[in-house]
């Protein structure tokens, strides 16, 4: 675990830089129906035959609900100073609604977890929503398709969390990757709640309209929660609140073709600026989206626009890879949500977009990550918190010495953190304040089940206690951040 490649970067990150791991409740907790927890849409989806690639469920997941104390201790041994996790809405309010009862057992679990983190000097970053809408709200009124009803319920849920945990939690995230939730759940229909125009896959849905309705609900409800936090809680709790957006770097397939350059920029706008422009720049959707989608893209009222613009105190950034983008000469399909482009694994010269991981869409591309950090910072001029970044690696099927010495993941972190992120700070002047690796342990990767292992800790899913085996990448990250972070 040599640091020669980053020798010149000693102390380039701010002394209060946060580094740790990110997780999601539905992927790690297990205890899916214990201690009063209600059903989420992912409980329903995971129990629907044919929806999860390996036929698994998250009923037990990694049993983080049972082993959170051991996990916090292990995390501490990895040298982290922060941990980003999500709350399961249906564990806190089982039926989800603004008039539904609070589950005190759920409150107790998260309160204990927060206290355990603080005892170990680990700063909690808490995400309110990581894709797991209470099933009752989906059945009651269609979930996010009903903006008014959903916003009312989400605001009340957020209030409960601020009231119960805000004395100790100072870093809040409303939504994790609202775009991925929207596109996978309502455009492709491969994630919960499983809606799309494709009837061979989903019984209901409209890929040409519903993703944009849901995205609008997420933005407006985030705005309402942000305003409530700023007015009612921030003055006495002194915390900060933002949102986390996804987005990968789009590189022109032919770097000399103006049409491919335009297509790459359009792809970035459809994927990232869709949410980021209303939040940080204009209070409205990008012109490129309006030009293609017309009235299928909702319009912000003046009040909504004012509510959303400036409602996130930082730019929460999840990113993993890079794609080569080529323009299309044919008109966009009605279900297109990418900006009428083609994505490629190689560019015109046959150069691949990165080294293959164990996940088809994810290739290691640190150069693109640095370009994306610059693009976001130049466009929005907000401090960036990298809230997710990580990789799978081929052949991680058993905790062998070779698997636990995960050289591919170490190389990935060296490229993304040690080169791209640190040099973006030092040489490009980008304001970056955190890095959360995805993820702490192998987990239940949504529709991929247990087949995609992103963890810096190997989990034996066949064992009763989901035995943990540390991988060397965890210790490499510790060593790397000790080198990069300025000593106070």
Q: Encode pLDDT of 80-90 as tens digits.
A: 999 999 999 99
Instruction: Give the single-character DSSP code of 53.
Output: T
Kindly tell me if the per-residue pLDDT of 315 is higher than 70: yes
- Mean pLDDT over 6-30 rounds to 98
Confidence (pLDDT) at 94: 99
Confidence (pLDDT) at 358: 98
* Cα angle value 312/317/322 (rounded, 5°): 145
Average pLDDT score over the chain: 98
> What is the pLDDT confidence band of residue 1, given thresholds at 50, 70 and 90?
low
- Mean pLDDT over 102-130 rounds to 99
**Structure confidence by residue, pLDDT tens digits, 406-421:** 999 999 999 999 999 9
Taking phi over 0 as left and psi of -120 to 50 as alpha, with beta for the rest, 141 belongs to alpha
Which H or E element spans position 154?
A: helix 147-165
Predicted structure pTM score: 0.98
Strand partners, 343: 325
Residue with tokens 């949504």: 446
Q: Is 210 a catalytic residue?
A: no
**Structure confidence by residue, pLDDT tens digits, 46-77:** 999 999 999 999 999 999 999 999 999 999 99
Question: What CA–CA distance (Å, rounded) separates 453 from 458?
Answer: 8
Confidence (pLDDT) at 311: 98
Question: What CA–CA distance (Å, rounded) separates 278 from 290?
Answer: 13
Kindly tell me if the per-residue pLDDT of 468 is higher than 80: yes
For residue 206, count CB atoms less than 10 angstroms from its CB and return exposed for 0-12, middle for 13-18, buried for 19 or more.
Answer: middle
- Mean pLDDT over 342-366 rounds to 98
Kindly tell me if the per-residue pLDDT of 380 is higher than 70: yes
Please give the structure tokens belonging to residue 464: 């009763």
Q: Is 204 a catalytic residue?
A: no
Kindly tell me if the per-residue pLDDT of 6 is higher than 80: yes
Tally of CA atoms within 13 A in the half-sphere of 70 that contains its CB: 14
Confidence (pLDDT) at 488: 79
Please report the beta strands in 278-426, taking only residues with DSSP state E, as ranges in sequence order: 315-318, 322-327, 341-344, 355-356, 363-364, 384-389
Catalytic residue among 138, 218, 304, 388: 388
> What is the pLDDT confidence band of residue 117, given thresholds at 50, 70 and 90?
very high
First vs last Cα of the chain: how many Å apart? 25
Kindly tell me if the per-residue pLDDT of 351 is higher than 70: yes
Confidence (pLDDT) at 2: 79
Please give the structure tokens belonging to residue 72: 């916090």
3-class SS of residue 202: coil
Please report the beta strands in 219-304, taking only residues with DSSP state E, as ranges in sequence order: 240-246, 249-252
Question: What CA–CA distance (Å, rounded) separates 311 from 243?
Answer: 9
Angle between helices 147-165 and 104-119 (to 10 degrees): 50
- Mean pLDDT over 395-401 rounds to 98
Strand ranges across the sheet with 341-344:
249-252, 322-327, 341-344
Question: Is-contact 395 357, C-beta < 8 A?
Answer: no
- Is domain 4-484 annotated with CATH 1.20.1250.20? no
Q: What percent of the chain has pLDDT over 70?
A: 100
Kindly tell me if the per-residue pLDDT of 469 is higher than 70: yes
Nearest residue to 316 (alpha-carbon basis) of 247, 270, 267, 390 = 247
Question: Is-contact 211 263, C-beta < 8 A?
Answer: no
Break the chain into its structural domains and give their ranges: 4-484
Catalytic residue among 138, 177, 304, 445: 177
Kindly tell me if the per-residue pLDDT of 470 is higher than 80: yes
């Amino acid at each position: 675990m040599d640091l020669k490649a980053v020798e010149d970067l000693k102390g380039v990150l701010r002394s209060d830089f946060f580094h740790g791991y990110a997780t999601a409740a539905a992927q790690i907790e297990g205890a899916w129906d214990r201690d009063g927890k209600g059903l989420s849409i992912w409980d329903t989806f995971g129990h629907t035959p044919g929806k999860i690639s390996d036929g698994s469920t998250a009923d037990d997941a990694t049993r983080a609900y049972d082993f959170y104390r051991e996990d916090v201790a292990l995390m501490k041994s990895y040298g982290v100073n922060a941990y980003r996790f999500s709350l399961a809405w249906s564990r806190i309010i089982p039926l989800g609604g603004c008039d539904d009862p609070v589950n005190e057992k759920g409150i107790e679990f998260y309160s204990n977890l927060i206290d355990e983190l603080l005892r170990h000097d680990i700063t909690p970053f808490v995400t309110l929503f990581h894709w797991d809408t209470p099933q009752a709200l989906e059945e009651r009124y269609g979930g996010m398709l009903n903006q008014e009803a959903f916003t009312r319920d989400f605001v009340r849920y957020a209030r409960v969390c601020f009231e119960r945990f805000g004395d100790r939690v100072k870093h809040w995230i409303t939504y994790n990757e609202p775009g991925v939730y929207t596109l996978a759940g309502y455009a492709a229909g491969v994630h919960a709640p499983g809606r799309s125009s494709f009837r061979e896959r989903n019984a209901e849905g409209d890929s040409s309209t519903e993703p944009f309705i849901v995205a609008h609900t997420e933005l407006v409800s985030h705005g309402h929660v942000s305003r409530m936090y700023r007015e009612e809680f921030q003055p006495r709790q002194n915390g900060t609140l933002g949102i986390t957006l996804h987005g990968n770097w789009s590189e022109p397939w032919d770097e000399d073709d103006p049409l491919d350059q335009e297509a790459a920029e359009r792809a970035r706008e459809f994927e990232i600026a869709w949410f980021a422009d209303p939040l940080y720049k204009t209070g409205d959707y990008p012109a490129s989206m309006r030009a293609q989608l017309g009235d299928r893209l909702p319009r912000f009222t003046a009040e909504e626009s004012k509510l959303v613009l400036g409602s996130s105190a930082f730019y929460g950034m999840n990113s993993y890879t890079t794609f080569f983008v080529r323009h299309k000469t044919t008109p966009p399909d009605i279900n297109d949500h990418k900006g009428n482009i083609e994505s490629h694994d190689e560019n015109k010269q046959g150069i691949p977009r990165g080294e293959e991981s164990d996940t088809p869409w994810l290739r290691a591309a640190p150069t693109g990550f640095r370009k994306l950090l610059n693009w976001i910072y130049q466009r929005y001029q907000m401090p960036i918190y990298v809230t997710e970044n990580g990789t799978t690696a081929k052949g991680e099927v058993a905790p062998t010495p070779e698997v636990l010495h995960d050289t591919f993941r170490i190389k990935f972190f060296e490229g993304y953190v040690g080169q791209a992120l640190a040099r973006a700070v030092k040489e490009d002047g980008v304001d970056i304040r955190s890095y959360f690796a995805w993820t702490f342990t192998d987990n239940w990767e949504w529709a991929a089940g247990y087949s995609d292992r992103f963890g810096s800790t190997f989990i034996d899913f066949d064992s009763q206690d989901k035995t943990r085996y540390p991988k060397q990448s965890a210790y490499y990250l510790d060593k790397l951040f000790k080198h990069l972070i300025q000593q106070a």
